[in-house]
Amino acid sequence: AESEKQVISLVGSELRAVRDRIVGNAELEGRRMLMQTRQELLSKVFEDAERRLEEMAEGMASDYTTILVKLISESVSAIGGEVFYVTANERDLTYLKNNLRTINRDLKKDLGDITIKLDDDPIDISGGVIVRNHDATKTYYNTLKGKLALVRGRIEAKVAQDLGVV
């Protein structure tokens, strides 16, 4: 009778261990599926946002030209100094060249006695600017993809926290 109780106890503890392993594996698989779905949805959202930003930049919408000047202003403020060199893609450099006098005037109102100069060589980016100080000791990368990547990092962390998968 005593050995029968021991066998039943042993079988019971083995069954509980098996059940716990099965439940644990199911929870892990559920969490993995949730994380994968979250990643797929976020990727879709950010691909769409990137496409829209590129379309806006390609069309040189008035919103985009305002954003372009704000990106320069933000870069100049972050670097500090008086003379700055701006580079961008070919389309944006053309816009900046055609409007440089107005842009310099507007930025001087906000930032004081600064001068914006343009690099002659365009760079391969979808939009935004790269700004450096006169002696190239400080460079500020303020591209659309870079901005989107920063936002994505913050949003991914928040979504993961809200879903309880971190």
Question: Mean pLDDT of successive 10-residue segments in the chain (166 residues)?
Answer: 81 88 92 87 86 78 85 96 96 94 93 94 94 96 91 82 69
Q: Please work out, in degrees rounded to the nearest 5, the angle formed at the alpha carbon of residue 11 by the alpha carbons of 6 and 14.
A: 125
Burial class (CB in 10 A: 0-12, 13-18, 19+), 7: exposed
Q: To which residue do tokens 């098996």 refer? A: 18
Q: Look at residue 52 in the predicted model and tell me its pLDDT.
A: 84
Q: Look at residue 140 in the predicted model and tell me its pLDDT.
A: 97
Q: Look at residue 89 in the predicted model and tell me its pLDDT.
A: 95
For residues 127 and 118, what is the distance between their CA atoms, to the nearest angstrom?
15
pTM for the whole structure: 0.71
- Where do the domains of the chain lie? 1-166
Q: Look at residue 100 in the predicted model and tell me its pLDDT.
A: 95
Q: Would you give the end-to-end CA distance of the chain in angstroms?
A: 49
* Fold of the domain built from segment(s) 1-166: hypothetical protein PF0899 fold (3.30.2320)
Are the C-beta atoms of residues 88 and 122 closer than 8 Å to each other?
yes
Q: Look at residue 59 in the predicted model and tell me its pLDDT.
A: 74
User: Which of helix, strand or coil describes residue 149?
Assistant: helix
